[in-house]
A = this chain, B = another copy of it.
Amino acid sequence: MRNTNAKSEIQNLIAESTVALSHTEIQAATKGLCDRVTIYRVLDRLVDEGQVHKIINVDGVVKYANCHSCTDHTHTHAHAHIHFSCQKCKSVTCLTDVEPIFKLPKKYKVSEMNFTLSGLCPQCS
A104/B95 in contact, CB under 8 A:
yes
**For residue A71, which residues in chain B have a CB less than 8 angstroms away from its CB?**
none
In whole angstroms, what is the CA distance A122 to B108 when docked? 5
Identical subunits present? 2
In whole angstroms, what is the CA distance A87 to B76 when docked? 14
Q: Which residue of B lies closest to A111 (CB)?
A: B119
B104/A117 in contact, CB under 8 A:
yes
In whole angstroms, what is the CA distance A113 to B95 when docked? 14
**For residue A107, which residues in chain B have a CB less than 8 angstroms away from its CB?**
122, 125
- Residue A60 CB within 8 A of the other chain: yes
Interface string of A82-113 (1 = CB under 8 A from B): 10100100000001011111111101111111
- Residue A121 CB within 8 A of the other chain: yes
A102/B105 in contact, CB under 8 A:
no
- Residue A34 CB within 8 A of the other chain: no
Residues of A within 8 A of B (CB): 56-60, 62, 82, 84, 87, 95, 97-105, 107-122, 125
